[in-house]
């Protein structure tokens, strides 16, 4: 498994700013906090994969801060031989982007939806961090809504709400059998 220090070096070597690195470290803390809670509730989650995926999720911001930073990040990670982390970069935008919306946004024609629990945790944690400050889900939702300039029925907001509900259900204490 790639170490935290090597992941941080990859961000620096790719050319990420200190602000991006601080953001990634805040997302790491939030993601690990969520993952530990989920794991403590009896779900299988790879904490180190969450940790390193969270650090590397925004490596594409070394190239652009636009919507394509996810795909740019995946390119950087592939060049570094870090294929196992490309999905963290590609699939964290919004709450994931399906193929039809990706095409409309000028992204490659494929689904950019977080699949594994670890990817979903990092995607969710990223939404709960504004810059390098943790925010509530309600604040995150309002920021996201303003960012996409859409109404309540926009599919991206529905995906964010569904991701929130899913992560919250994993974090909720299970009743004893």
Q: Give the CATH number for residue 165.
A: 1.10.3210.10
**Model pLDDT, residue 121:** 98
> Is residue 74 assigned to a domain?
yes
Distance CA 161, CA 142 (A): 12
Q: pLDDT tens digits for 116-156?
A: 999 999 999 999 999 999 999 999 999 999 988 877 889 99
C-alpha distances (whole Å) from 115 to each of 19, 86, 103, 112, 121 are 28, 12, 19, 9, 10
**Model pLDDT, residue 174:** 62
Distance CA 73, CA 143 (A): 23
Are 85 and 2 in contact by the 8 Å Cβ rule? The answer is yes
Distance CA 20, CA 59 (A): 8
How many structural domains comprise the chain? 1
> Is residue 176 assigned to a domain?
no
> Is residue 129 assigned to a domain?
yes
* Residues spanned by the domain of 152: 4-171
**Model pLDDT, residue 5:** 96
pTM above 0.75, yes or no: yes
Q: pLDDT tens digits for 68-91?
A: 999 999 999 999 999 999 999 999
């Amino acid at each position: 498994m790639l170490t935290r220090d090597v992941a941080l070096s990859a961000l620096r070597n790719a050319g990420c700013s200190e602000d991006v690195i601080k953001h990634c470290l805040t997302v790491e803390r939030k993601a690990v906090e969520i993952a530990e809670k989920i794991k403590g509730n009896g779900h299988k989650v790879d904490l180190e994969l969450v940790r390193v995926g969270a650090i590397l999720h925004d490596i594409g911001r070394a190239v652009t801060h636009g919507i394509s930073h996810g795909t740019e990040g995946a390119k950087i990670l592939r060049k570094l031989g870090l294929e196992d982390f490309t999905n963290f970069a590609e699939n964290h935008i919004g709450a994931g982007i399906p193929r039809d919306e990706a095409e409309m946004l000028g992204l490659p024609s494929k689904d950019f939806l977080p699949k594994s629990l670890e990817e979903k945790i990092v995607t969710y944690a990223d939404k709960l961090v504004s810059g390098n400050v943790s925010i509530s889900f309600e604040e995150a939702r309002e920021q996201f809504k303003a960012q996409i300039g859409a109404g309540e029925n926009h599919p991206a907001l529905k995906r964010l709400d569904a991701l929130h509900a899913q992560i919250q259900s994993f974090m909720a204490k299970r009743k004893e059998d």
